[in-house]
Structure 1
Amino acid sequence: MRVDVLTLFPEMFAGVFGSSILGKAQEKGIISLNAINFREYAGNKHGSVDDTPYGGGGGMVLKPEPIFRAVEDLLGRLEVEGEGSTPDEGETAYESPRPRVILMCPQGETFTQQKAEELAREEHLVFICGHYEGYDERIREHLVTDEISIGDYVLTGGELPAMVVIDSVTRLLPGVLGNETSAVTDSFSTGLLEYPHYTRPVEFRGWKVPDILLSGHHANVADWRRKEALRRTWLRRPDLLQGLELSEKDKKWLEQLQAEEGRDTEDK
């Protein structure tokens, strides 16, 4: 996979792209991570990429020219290198294999594990990180394919949200994680929060690992983990259970959990 990030602050990505899982994924050749300063595409001697909004109002708005030029130049260079195709002059609707061009903004769809899994199936992602008051609307209408938000709050720019999405997507790529089952059983990947984990020592300060995890009985361990995932989801994020397809065994376990919780509440 190739990931390009258009940003005014490419230095923010140096440490993130070169460290931990992302760094190792690059070393293995699984992913290529690149930060591009779109100020280089400003087209004016001052390197200006923003201007005041038409109609008045506070703040500055990112101009369309630098963003369009940066994306078009990137696609043109990839075509020359044999990595993709680029549109004819004046076109903005790129032919396949067009990368997903992702605008990081508070107005976008809320990022989820399912979205991460969808993006992980792509060959090329381009992220646009804005600053100031917002983007010229023509960027939204004619250039991007996705708008993503990582939550209902506002940050100073799109760099940190882009890092979050890139990290989430990268760890799903085959060969990135040492244990290929890790991503499959993560919280949200199954629709539930993840079950509790334990490791050595068996007893720590009087707190013991559940006996079932020491039993070596894989089917019982799997049942325990599923039940605990249901318990944790029901207690912490019951909204995730709405619309989730549950087996008859899951439904019985949930009924038992709710009954147990009710008794515990009465005892208190």
Structure 2
Amino acid sequence: MKYEILTEVVYRHTFFPGHGYEGIRVHIPAAAARSLSQQGLLVKRLRDGFVLLYAAVHAGRPRSRDAVLEENNTLLFDLLLTDHLFYNYTQVNVQDITSSIFFFSNEAPVAAGTLHRQDYVSTQDLQAVNTLQETFFVKPFGRIALQVNGQLQPLYQIRFPARAVRWCYFLMSEGLQSLSRPAVIAANGNGYFGALRRVTLPDGREVPVFISNDPVPLGSAGNVFQLVDYFTASDDRYKVIIPALPAPETGSISNAAAALYEDGSEYAEIFLY
């Protein structure tokens, strides 16, 4: 049987620029599976989304994409989260994960080309589980209500934003601590980090630390920082010590410089040796 593309849904995350996000898997509930079969529709899973297909011949008759859209149906799909680090690097403040899910739809109002209200998924796309009609054995991460009608677009994105925190670089080795005028700057020479500060670690050691002035999105793309050592205090000449500093690890948790942290800000710590 020949199938044609009705629409496609893909997942994107700014933490992974350049390719799709693979931490979500679509699940077809039993009722949706029966509806798909009756309508001659088929879901093909992709690594970063899924494609909704329609049978070009259904009930012994050929049909076009426009003919399918004229049937004006609503399809419900569940989304399962397979990435256990998702909330570590995603800028969505879910107060209670256990009692809410993300609800996506192509019904207005939504941002152009997406299934959510703003350009990126936000708390506006959350819905309380108890507002849904059915009881889940395993609560899904999200749900998609896809309106299959004349306004159906050929492609939709579900886009997640990377979490933005203030980055902290600790100079741990003797070699780095012996630098005369160290600084952390952007690769283009712009300064994003404040002056060197000193903090006493839980083990009693006092070490230098640089803290970004503003929150920086997690992920390496576009956020390349360097550790440099200025020749003198009066000019802009410096020697590059580390040309590309590492980004924070999303799975690590530490609070080594808590004494320096300001209320209302989140921090990520990177230790340089």
Specify if TM > 0.5.
no
TM-score (norm 1): 0.30
Higher strand share: 2
Which structure: larger Rg? 2
Higher helix share: 1
